[in-house]
A and B are shown apart, each in its own frame.
Chain A
Amino acid sequence: MANRFASSTPLSARASITSFALAILTATGAMAQSSQVGVPPDSDLAIPLVMIDRLLDQKLESESQTPVGQSNDAEFCRRLWLDLAGVAPPVWELRSFLADESDDKRSRLIDRLLHSPRFADHMATRYTNSLLPGDVESVPQPDVEALQRWLRQAFLENKPYDHLVGAFLTAGGGTDTGPAIFYTSREADPIKVASATSRLFLGIGIDCAQCHDHPFADWNQNDFWSFAAFFSQLELGENAMPNNRVVEDRIGKELTLMDTDQIIQPRYLGSDEPPEPDPENLRRRQLTIWLASRSNPYFATAAVNRVWAHLFGRGLVNPIDEIDSIEHASHPQLLRYLSAYLIEERFDLRKVYRAIANTRAYQRTSRFDGLRPPQNSYAIMHPKTLSPEQYFDSLRQNIIRRLDPVLSETGMIDLQRQRFVQRMRDRGATPMDYPHGVVQVLGMINGPEMMLATTDSSSGIIAAIEAPFLDDRQRIEALFLASLSRPPTEAESKRFLDYLTDDSINASKPQRWGDLIWVLANSAESFVCP
Chain B
Amino acid sequence: MLTSRRSILTRIGPAAAIGMSSWRQSLLTAASEATASEGATRAGRHCVVLWMSGGPSQLDTFDMKPGTAVGGPLKESQTSVPGLRFSEHLPKLAKQAERLAIMRGVSTKEGDHARGTTLMHTGNPVGTSLRYPSIGSSLSKALALPGQPLPGYVSISPPPIAPQAQSPGFLGPKFAPTRVSSAINEADQNFATLRVDHLHSPLSTESPRYRKRLELWRQQQQTFLADRNVASLDAQQTTYDAAFEMLGSDAKDAFDLTNEPDRVRSAYGAGTFGQGCLMARRLIERGVPMIEVALGDGLGWDTHADNFERVKTLSRELDSGWATLMDELADRGLLESTTFLWAGEFGRTPTINRSGGRDHFPQAFTCVLAGGGIHGGQAFGATANDGAEVVEGKIECKDLMATLCAAVDVDPELENETEEGRPIKISEGIPVDNVLA
Contacts and interface: CB of A to CB of B under 8 A. Distances in A.
Contacts of A319: 129
Contact of A369 (B127, B172, B226, B240): B226
Given A322-B129, A496-B216, A522-B240, A446 B232 contact: no
Given A367-B227, A432-B232, A445-B201, A519 B151 contact: no
Interface string A467-507: 00000000000000000000001011001100100101111
Contact of A432 (B128, B160, B207, B231): B231
Nearest to A496: B216
Contacts of A207: 127
Contact of B232 (A383, A438, A519, A525): A383
B164 to A, nearest CB: 6
Interface stretch (A130-138, A235-243, A245-253): A130-138
Interface in B192-231: 196-202, 207-209, 212-213, 216-217, 219-221, 223-231
Given A385-B232, A434-B233, A506 B207 contact: yes
Contact of A443 (B168, B198, B200, B212): B198
B414 to A, nearest CB: 22
A445 B199 CA distance: 9
A504 B208 contact: yes
A328 interface: no
Contacts of B219: 495
A47 interface: no
B177 interface: yes
Given A385-B232, A438-B239, A495-B219, A433 B224 contact: no
A505 B208 contact: yes
B209 A507 contact: yes
Contacts of A372: 229-230
Nearest to B202: A446
Contact of B197 (A208, A442, A502, A528): A442
Contacts of A505: 208-209, 212
Interface in A499-530: 499, 502, 504-507, 515-516, 518-520, 522-525, 527-528
Given A319-B129, A428-B131, A523-B220, A434 B201 contact: no
A523 B178 contact: no
B213 A439 contact: no
Contacts of A427: 164
B176 to A, nearest CB: 4
Interface string A357-373: 00000000011111110
B229 A135 contact: no
A382 interface: yes
Given A383-B232, A518-B213, A524-B225, A433 B172 contact: yes
B191 to A, nearest CB: 22
A382 B128 CA distance: 27
Contacts of A426: 167
Main secondary structure of the interface of B (DSSP, over half): helix
A433 B173 contact: yes
Nearest to A504: B208
B237 interface: yes
Interface in B228-257: 228-233, 235-237, 239-240, 242-244, 246-247
A437 interface: yes
A506 B168 CA distance: 41
Given A427-B164, A495-B216, A506-B208, A434 B239 contact: yes
Interface residues of B, number: 59
A383 B237 CA distance: 15
A40 interface: no
Most buried by A among B174, B179, B239: B239
Given A135-B162, A505-B209, A442 B129 contact: no
Nearest to A324: B129
Interface string B133-164: 00000000000000000010000000011111
B182 to A, nearest CB: 14
Most buried by B among A366, A438, A445, A523: A438
Most buried by B among A207, A426, A441: A441
B114 interface: yes
Contacts of B244: 445
B212 A504 contact: yes
A505 B177 CA distance: 35
Contacts of A507: 209
A156 interface: no
Nearest to A370: B229
Contacts of B127: 207-208
Contacts of A134: 164
Nearest to B176: A437
Contacts of A385: 232
Contacts of B239: 434, 436-438, 440-441
Contact of A523 (B168, B217, B229): B217
A205 interface: yes
Given A322-B129, A366-B228, A368-B227, A515 B209 contact: yes
17 contacts: A322-B129, A369-B227, A426-B167, A432-B232, A433-B232, A436-B173, A441-B243, A442-B196, A443-B198, A445-B201, A445-B244, A499-B213, A499-B216, A502-B212, A504-B208, A506-B207, A524-B233
Given A428-B164, A502-B212, A524-B236, 16 more contacts: A137-B163, A208-B127, A372-B229, A385-B232, A433-B232, A434-B173, A434-B233, A437-B176, A438-B178, A439-B197, A442-B197, A446-B201, A515-B209, A516-B216, A519-B213, A524-B220
Interface of B: 114, 127-129, 131, 151, 160-164, 167-169, 172-174, 176-179, 196-202, 207-209, 212-213, 216-217, 219-221, 223-233, 235-237, 239-240, 242-244, 246-247
Closest 5 CB pairs of A and B: A437-B176, A434-B235, A369-B227, A434-B232, A441-B243
